[in-house]
Structure 1
Amino acid sequence: MIIDTGSFDSLGELLLALGGRLTRLQTEILASLEQPLTIRQYRILSRVGAGHTSLTALCKLAHRNPSTMSESVDKLVNQGFLIRGTADTSRRMMRLELTAKGRKACDAADRALEKFTRELTADIPPELEEQLLPALTKTYLVIQADLDDR
């Protein structure tokens, strides 16, 4: 087995590599569930479960165009994870809701990813975590702001 020892010339290079590895592991975890999900499916289900029930809200959060998001939502509806309804405020506006199957799949994914993150950080000393958390949070917020500006 060949192990990449990770020779990185900069913090940015390391962050890009780390992001790729974390995405791969998250993809594998979600695919291994009793009800397999893609990252995109999981994000949509968790966002709907958190109260973002309109296609417009989902597009904004995911930085996706309406046709792409609509296609993803259609698949989740056809698989029985979501149902469409009309919004309470406007009969012309669509409202999405998790089905029991969608809630069960999202809950299982949440548990599996929470377990993964606990394992991932288990060996990090508290004092190092206290230093890393603010720095990585700031990096995340800068990246998020850049996405929001696009």
Structure 2
Amino acid sequence: MSNYRRLYIPGGTYFFTVVAYRRQTVFADEQRVNLLRQAFREVQSKRPFDLLAAVVLPDHLHCIWRLPLDDADFSSRWQMVKTAFSRRIPANVKMDGAKTVWQPRFYEHCLRDENDFHRHLDYLHYNPVKHGLASSAADWPHSSFKRFVNMGWYASNWSAIGADPDDIEPE
């Protein structure tokens, strides 16, 4: 059994990476991405949280969430998102009865300050470029990047102007 600990902070802001089982391309089409969006909305209606930023790639996703001030339980929310999405798609079933859609765990990082938030936001939005899926962040359709451009946080050609991936890797 893994010997790691999660940091649960009520009202915390977290960066997450969630990966498909054996890196399957479960989000390779628009319909699947829409099913994931539905799963997020369903969970948010039952267990509110702010989805501040997201990018969905074919085999994984990154998100930044802010939890309610009196709540630190992101793990249950992720379980609910994974379950809600898994119910919507066909998938093989393992011996224990679980569908083969998601890796069993996820990576989380509690964002410490504004600089940490911005580094992870940059990493999230640059990820499709890093993986060779788009030539710029603006070209990737399953991302919150354009919303941040509209808010004035990024120039529309941000990742096309020579951003160095080493400059935006989170610590």
Q: Whose helix proportion is higher, 1 or 2? A: 1
Query: Relative contact order (alpha carbons < 8 A, sep ≥ 6): 1 or 2 greater?
Result: 2
Normalised to the residue count of structure 1, the TM-score between the two structures is: 0.30
Q: Whose strand proportion is higher, 1 or 2? A: 2
